[in-house]
Structure formats: structure tokens, C-alpha cells
Amino acid sequence: MSDIGIRRQALVERLHHLRGQRVIAAMSGGVDSSLVAALLHEAGVDVIGVFLHVWDYVREDNCRQGSCCASEDAYDARRVSDQLSIPFYVMDMRKTFREHVINPFIDDYGKGRTPNPCERCNRFVKFGALLEIADQLEADYIATGHYVRRCDDENGVHIYQGSDHHKDQTYFLATTTKKQLSRIIFPVGDLQKDQTREMSLAYGLKTAMKHESQDICFIPAGDRASFLKQQNAMAGFVAGDIVDQAGHTLGRHKGIAHYTLGQRKGLALGNGPWHVVALDAKIARVVVAHPEDAFITQVSVKEVHWLHAPSENTDVYARVRYRMKPALCKLDTADSDTLQLTFDTPQKPTAPGQVVAFYCRQDELLGGGTVLATNR
């Protein structure tokens, strides 16, 4: 048996305890969730494929960029479900997605914040509304293609970074509640991405070599400003000054919606490089600083959810950007609603509205929250 065959057998055996139980496979039409459905099916699980219709895409704007439209993704998910002979449903989540993802996204950019729509989608749609659907379908669990590892013991559910650290998605689950995570499984968390494709090819899945989009799902072309204008969200497009930290005017801009904290490209300023360090929505001002002055040491965090709250002796690491390595920090309670973290070493800036993920030993997810403010 080949190495990929041995690994596939091990993953299926790990799912045998779910034999006969009903599990919802959250199918996006991509290779990861397709493989999840295949593994569950082979393990003897009563698996139902569900595709969440969250947004009506404009084909001319999106598909020409190489991303699939919602109808094509749903079609691919249905093809895989038919291939596996499992039931398949398309669920209309547009209203929920608009309320919990799109509207906050628009509101945040108008206020100079940088929202994280993927985190909100996980919290309110995939692991919020979808769990309600699971109850309606009398399913015990939801299974997703996230690159996350789950281990259970007498202390409950433990979530670890995926084996493929380049694809690890624990950061986007940091604000998911303990109750939600108790009913979510992640069958591909132990795989590398190339192994996922190899295994999908071994199954003969029709999505095995499908292109993977890196964009926000409702902005596949990556043009955030155009999307906001299409939504008539004009609060972030008031022209104003670009200034340094001393208040000296360095240039003009066409709206704070074009910028995010930490941004260094597209500023078109002399004597650089520069980083965006503040956005003042009230007076439409963008504040920049040289790299050595842009680093932060403190972050105020709101809406904190703990999977496992750290003890006083636990070394806590924080991740305030998706691609950063978790960094050692100290935690203090600023007030009943806010947590203050202080990094041992200065970090590249993050933005209000982004996610903070907390870890111990740098790989176990402890919980997370939302950035309220930063200090240098």
C-alpha cells in the first residue's frame, strides 16, 4: 500500500467511532471539504452534504478573475455528493450572511476599522446557523475542511494548529465558542495540502485539482473599494490628509476605505518606506510612520471567548495577524469587558476589528477575541 493509502486508511479508522451517526459535511465545492465527505462516507458515517448559499456573485466581476461563482461551487459540491451517493442540500444563508458579515464589514470600513469577515462567517454562519440546520436534520456533528486538529480528553475539546502550518486555520476559529466546537470535527487537519490533493485524486473526486481562491469570498477580484462603492457605503471615501505622527501633511488620499493599519504598499509618499499606523474616520485622516515607529507592544481585546482559560503560570502566545508566528505576551484585565495584552517583543501592527488568537505552547488554541485598540 502506498504512503497516501496508509494515511487514508488511518484517517478513516479514526472516524470509525462515528459509524452510523449522522454528520453534516459543510461542502464549499473545494477539494478540502470534498475529501472530508469522502472520508466520512468510507468510514460508514451517515453523511449529508450541505452547501451554504451566502452571496449572489456577479459572474462578470468574479469568474473572470479565476474564482468560481456560487452556482459553480454548488454544482461542484453536488457532483461530489452524487459521486459518493450521499444526500445533498443547498441552504439559503444570504439573510444571515448579510446581517452578520456584510453589514458589519461595511460599517467597520466606514469607521476606519479593518474587519475580519472569515472569522464572523465561521462564528455566525458556518458554526452558528449551520448547527441549527444540523439540529433540524438530527445530525450529531458538523465536519469541515479546516486545517485544524481536534483532540478530546477528560478536560474537554482541545484545538491545535493544523499539521500544515502554511494552511493552519486556528486563527479563524479563535472566537468560536466551546459549545460550538464540541460539535465540529476536522478530518483533514493532520494532512499537508499536497496530501489532500493526492488523497482526493486517489478517490477520483472531481474537485481534486480545483483552483483554490485566496480572496474574500464575496470579493473574489480583491477590489475592496469597488465592492464598498457597489454597496453604497460611501462613508470611507471622504478625501483627506495623509500625515506623519507629528501631524505634518505628507499627501492627500481619496478615502480611508482604501487603507488598513500596517499597510505599506500603494502610499505613494516620498522619504519612505511608510506604514499606516492610524485611521481617523472623524476627520478622514491617515497617519503614517516609518517602520521602526510602526511596531506595537500592547493590544486591547474585546469579546474574548476562552476554550481553556490560561492559569497564572501558563505561558500565553498571541497571534494578531493570520500569517504571524504566535508571540509570547502577558495578559491583564483592563476592565470587565476588555483584556490587555502586552508583547515581550514589539510586533508588526494589526488593526481594530481584526482577530486575536491565544495559544499555549504556540500550537494549542486557548481562545480569542477582537482587537479594540493598539499602542506602540
* pLDDT of 177 strictly over 80: yes
Give the percent of the chain with pLDDT over 90: 73
Question: According to the model, what pLDDT value does residue 70 have?
Answer: 66
pTM exceeds 0.85 for this model: yes
The domain boundary, picked from 157, 176, 203, lies at 203
Instruction: State how far the Cα of 14 lies from the Cα of 152, in Å rounded to an integer.
Output: 13
Does 130 map to a domain?
yes
pLDDT at 346 over 60: yes
Question: Quick one: average pLDDT of 19-33?
Answer: 96
d(CA 190, CA 6): 13
**54 and 139 together in one domain:** yes
Residue 331 is part of a domain; what is its CATH number?
Answer: 2.40.30.10
| Distance of alpha carbon 301 from alpha carbon 91, whole angstroms | 34
pLDDT tens by residue, 260-275: 888 888 898 999 899 9
Peptide bond into 273 cis (omega under 30): yes
pLDDT at 334: 67
Cell of 218: 464575496
Whether 137 and 263 map to the same domain: the answer is no
Given 63, 69, 118, 217, the catalytic residue: 217
pLDDT category, 68, cuts 50, 70, 90?
very low
pLDDT at 58: 57
Q: Where residue 69 falls among pLDDT bands split at 50, 70, 90? A: low
58: left (phi over 0), alpha (psi -120 to 50) or beta: beta
**Reported confidence tier of residue 65, pLDDT bands at 50, 70, 90:** very low
Within a 10 A sphere around the Cβ of 91, how many other Cβ atoms?
Answer: 18
User: pLDDT per residue over 294-312, tens digit each?
Assistant: 999 999 999 999 999 998 8
- Residue 178 pLDDT level (bands cut at 50, 70, 90): very high
pLDDT at 293 over 60: yes
**Quick check: 174 pLDDT over 80?**
yes
- Statement to judge: residues 300 and 269 lie in one domain: no
Interatomic CA distance for residues 149 and 168, integer angstroms? 9
Tell me whether strands 240-243 and 249-253 are parallel, antiparallel or unpaired.
antiparallel
Are residues 327 and 194 both part of a single domain? Answer: no
Higher pLDDT pick, 50 / 291:
50
47 pLDDT more than 70:
yes
Check whether residue 279 and residue 299 sit in a common domain.
no
Within this chain, do residues 192 and 251 fall inside the same structural domain, yes or no?
Answer: no
Among the listed residues 68, 69, 121, 329, the single catalytic one is 121
Count of domains observed in the chain: 3
Give the pLDDT score at 67: 44
Q: What is the distance between the alpha carbons of residues 242 and 339, in angstroms, rounded to a whole number? A: 31
217 as an active site residue: the answer is: yes
Sheet (strand 285-289) strand order: 249-253, 240-243, 285-289, 275-280
Are residues 15 and 140 both part of a single domain? yes
Residues 96, 18 share a domain: yes
The residue from 278, 293, 308 where one domain ends is 293
pLDDT of 214 above 80: no
Within-domain flag for 87: yes
Higher-confidence residue: 39 or 129? Answer: 39
CATH number at residue 273: 2.30.30
**Which of 60-69, 115-124, 128-137, 217-226 has the lowest average pLDDT?**
60-69
Q: Does residue 175 lie in a domain region?
A: no
Q: Is residue 326 part of a domain?
A: yes
What pLDDT, on the 0 to 100 scale, is given for residue 1? Answer: 77
The CATH number for 128's domain is 3.40.50.620
- Pairwise pLDDT comparison (362 vs 94), residue with the higher score: 94
Asked if residue 348 and residue 270 are part of one domain, the reply reads no
Residues 28 and 75 in one domain: yes
**Residue numbers of the domain that contains 315:** 294-375
Reply yes or no on whether the pLDDT at 184 is more than 70: yes
Give the tens place of pLDDT for each residue, 131-171: 999 999 999 999 999 999 999 999 999 999 999 999 999 99
Is 90 exceeded by the pLDDT of residue 376? Answer: no
Here the cell at position 30 is 473545494
Determine, yes or no, domain membership for 218: no
Mean confidence (pLDDT) of the chain = 91
Residue 355 covered by a domain: yes
For residue 63, pLDDT beyond 70? no
Type of residue found at 82: D
Query: Does residue 181 form part of some domain?
Result: no
Q: Does residue 12 sit within a domain? A: yes
* Residue whose C-alpha is closest to residue 370's, from 298, 290, 302, 279: 302
116 and 27 share a domain? yes
Are residue 363 and residue 266 in the same domain, yes or no? no
